[in-house]
Structure 1
Amino acid sequence: MKPTFMKVHLLLFMFVFILVVTACQQNKSRVDHQDMHEDSFLNKASSPSDREPDDKIVIGFSMDTLAEERWLRDRELFKEAVEALGAEVKIFASKGDDALQILHAENLINEGIDILVIVPHNAESTAMIVKKAHAAGIKVLSYDRLVRNSETDLYVSYDNEMVGELQAKAITKLVPKGKYVYIGGPETDYNAHLLKKGVFNILQPLIDKGDITVVYDQWTKEWYPENAYTNMKEALKVNHNEVDAVISANDATAGKVIQALAEQGLAGKIPVVGQDADLAATQRIVEGLQTMTVYKPLKALADQAAELAVKLAKGEEIEVERIVNNGKLEVPAILLSPIAVDQNNIDETIIADGFHSREEVYKNKEK
């Protein structure tokens, strides 16, 4: 091979080599830049302190159900409160379906929400949702119902143990001695356990004295009123209608308890208590069919939860005076105080607050 040809061949080889190296370096630079961009995005999503001041906070609200009157109110009041704070809320209701609630929560997390607010259907199974949210750098606020055995960041509710105590105090004043029936909520809802605990805080000393006997005590699966109706019919049957008082976990179940009593000619003769201040319950109270309810001003709850959710999303510190053990850890909690309502104070509480109008409440009584 001639020297001149060898020189030309060598120069061509060196030129191609330089082009390949340069292209690789440019491609590596593009890849590094893309990786840096993705890392930056992920860090921003998981760190509230990196948020831009003008970024609109997006809250995911995962609800158990909208089948009951009170949850329809919660949805609208929470939405109003969030939007008044300049934030946005995406709402899903799972119709009492655990798997659907988990799927909804996953969708919200994947959409890049800043915080998840959850009303759990099943207090235990929704712990998975908390875990998934935290893995994505998203904090979780339990609304009204506590998620069990999880690292929930904050719990905002009314004091459900106090609700049960108010129910029991009201009914034991009327019936200090006798046979009691307890119609609870679902065993899967931790609130139902708190309510029952509050009730028996008051009843147990009277049980120990022999003044009160609980002749029937049953959970109401899924909070379904029809299940409460079945339970109450059974309670009356096994006790030959010899029942002196009924404590029902909420107003919807109380309504069916009263229906079962009415079929035996006992409606209005046996005191029945509930909670939630549903419209139908307030109507029954003024008619003398239901003894009392427990009023939990939902606007106060929704406003408080919305404000705290926004603060959590921003990474701001929240001071609390209460903690609640959820089976895994002590969860910081904000617990509002409920109000016992009967015929004597229904006008200055529920009606005065505009929760229900006087026309609605007294509709049946004034016919």
Structure 2
Amino acid sequence: MRQLIIRAMATGTVATLALGACSSGSSDGSAKGRTPYIGVILPDTTSSARWETQDHPALEAAFKAKGVKYDIQNAQGDKAQFQAIADHMLKEGVNVLMIVDLDAASGIAVLTKAKQEGVATIDYDRLTLGGHADYYVSFDNVDVGELQGQGLVQCLQGQTKPIVAEVNGSPTDNNATLFAQGYDSVLGQLYNNGTFVKGPNQSTDNWDNATAGKNFTKMLAQTPNIGGVLVANDGMAQAVIAVLKQHHLNGKVPVTGQDATVPGLQSVLDGDQCMTVFKDSVKEAQAGADLAVNLAKGQTASAANAMVADTVTGKLVQSVELTPEAIVKSNVQDVIAAGAVTKAEVCTAQFAAACAANGIK
């Protein structure tokens, strides 16, 4: 079933919050009588470059602009480290904890302990199923998958019954499940009517790029006439493209991605990757920071635009959901204009001509 989303009748701006009597510019009325102090735990630096190159600086800038104390750390994919960071933050006195879980079990353990200590909790980007977070800030992740599926369909126009391989995200990440729901809703119709042929399909433990590359090598050996590859994010797409290059198939076999990372955008520009999905980390970070700061100041705060169902508990979680954007060659400029990456990072000497040809300023 598709993730249940109930949108508020009056959506307003993305970060609109219903506030109590305390002014958002005041440090009075802080939660439990403490000065606002917000802890953020990011997951890793290997599954996607975005966590440190986009989300970390965007969150830091948002907290600095609000003049609140904060601590942002990265668990580097280590569940024991994830727990240790949380324990340290709780000991240090954070009154709001915002996390991107590594899996449901590690997320639940941290969220449960925070709640036991009276600390408000926010799931950032990934909903921890069964975790009972107070709030959730993310993008509509089924929509992300739909954009990937629609993008691959566009890239495969003109091919007759192409075989489509799917390189999915981690089976322990709820987002990966939602992305797959989205792109399978698009591709499934084409499999059923014979327009596309469903090829090999495999999940990738921990979003590990090297594992994705090994899995795709096996897929290509077993099915050498793969026509297109639905890859769930840019990091794994780079691994798939590397395999295609070994067989001189890069640029000939369309590959999707997600996260609009610098390597992903460069691959889009040179034609090795047909599209990516941009989830504006500045907007996501701002929405998360706005919510966290209001909670840390002891204000009543509720996300304005959606209620998302935790499919394990059945609970509806108050949420801020943002809108993703499909990125192809012609609109790579959108990602640069948003400040997620710079022209200097994307338009290195190798890609300068492609940048100029696609109007990148």
**Fold shared, TM-score > 0.5 on shorter chain:** yes
- In the TM superposition, 1:219-230 aligns within 5 A as 219-230=203-214
Moved more, 323-332 or 254-263: 323-332
Partner of 1:311: 294
The CA deviation at 1:156 is: 0.2
The CA deviation at 1:216 is: 0.9
Q: Is the 8 A contact 1:56 1:86 kept in 2?
A: no
Is 1:115 aligned to 2:96, yes or no? yes
Partner of 1:146: 127
Partner of 1:343: 329
Q: Is the 8 A contact 2:31 2:295 kept in 1?
A: no
Is 1:82 aligned to 2:63, yes or no? yes
Q: Which has the larger radius of gyration?
A: 1
Q: How many residues align?
A: 316
**Alpha-carbon distance between aligned partners in 1 of 2:231 and 2:274, rounded to the nearest angstrom:** 11
Partner of 1:62: 41
Q: Is the 8 A contact 1:184 1:217 kept in 2?
A: yes
Secondary structure, aligned partner of 2:330? coil
Deviations 1:241-277 (A, max 9, x none): 1101101111010001001111111000010010101
Question: Structure 1: which 5+ residue stretches go unaligned?
Answer: 1-46
Partner of 2:266: 283
The CA deviation at 1:174 is: 2.8
The 1:74–1:242 alpha-carbon spacing in structure 2 relative to 1, beyond 3 Å, is same
Deviations 1:303-326 (A, max 9, x none): 110010111222323143312222
Partner of residue 147 from structure 2, selected from 159, 166, 179: 166
Partner of residue 124 from structure 1, selected from 81, 105, 108: 105
**Alpha-carbon distance between aligned partners in 2 of 1:309 and 1:61, rounded to the nearest angstrom:** 10
- Greater RCO between the two (CA within 8 Å, min separation 6)? 2
**Alpha-carbon distance between aligned partners in 2 of 1:279 and 1:199, rounded to the nearest angstrom:** 23
**Alpha-carbon distance between aligned partners in 1 of 2:67 and 2:144, rounded to the nearest angstrom:** 33
The 1:150–1:357 alpha-carbon spacing in structure 2 relative to 1, beyond 3 Å, is closer
- Equivalent residue letter for 1:324: V
Secondary structure, aligned partner of 2:114? helix
Deviations 1:211-236 (A, max 9, x none): 22221111111111111100110110
**Alpha-carbon distance between aligned partners in 1 of 2:106 and 2:325, rounded to the nearest angstrom:** 31
The 1:223–1:49 alpha-carbon spacing in structure 2 relative to 1, beyond 3 Å, is closer
- In the TM superposition, 1:257-336 aligns within 5 A as 257-313=240-296, 314-326=298-310, 327-328=312-313, 329-336=315-322
Q: Let me know the Cα RMSD of the aligned residues.
A: 1.7
Q: Is the 8 A contact 2:256 2:274 kept in 1?
A: yes
Q: Is the 8 A contact 1:185 1:221 kept in 2?
A: yes
Q: Is the 8 A contact 1:286 1:362 kept in 2?
A: no
- Equivalent residue letter for 1:203: L
**Alpha-carbon distance between aligned partners in 1 of 2:132 and 2:50, rounded to the nearest angstrom:** 27
**Alpha-carbon distance between aligned partners in 2 of 1:352 and 1:108, rounded to the nearest angstrom:** 35
**Alpha-carbon distance between aligned partners in 2 of 1:359 and 1:49, rounded to the nearest angstrom:** 42
- Equivalent residue letter for 1:338: P
Q: Is the 8 A contact 1:286 1:361 kept in 2?
A: no
Question: Structure 2: which 5+ residue stretches go unaligned?
Answer: 1-28, 354-361
**Alpha-carbon distance between aligned partners in 2 of 1:319 and 1:163, rounded to the nearest angstrom:** 20
Partner of 2:200: 216
Deviations 1:3-33 (A, max 9, x none): xxxxxxxxxxxxxxxxxxxxxxxxxxxxxxx
- Equivalent residue letter for 1:197: Q
Secondary structure, aligned partner of 1:108? helix
The 1:334–1:213 alpha-carbon spacing in structure 2 relative to 1, beyond 3 Å, is same
Secondary structure, aligned partner of 1:141? strand
Partner of 1:200: 184
The CA deviation at 1:108 is: 1.1
Deviations 1:149-193 (A, max 9, x none): 021100001111111100100111232542101101111111111
Structure (1/2) with the larger helix percentage: 1
Partner of 1:245: 228
Q: Is the 8 A contact 1:311 1:318 kept in 2?
A: no
**Alpha-carbon distance between aligned partners in 2 of 1:271 and 1:49, rounded to the nearest angstrom:** 51
- Normalised by the length of structure 2, the TM-score is 0.84
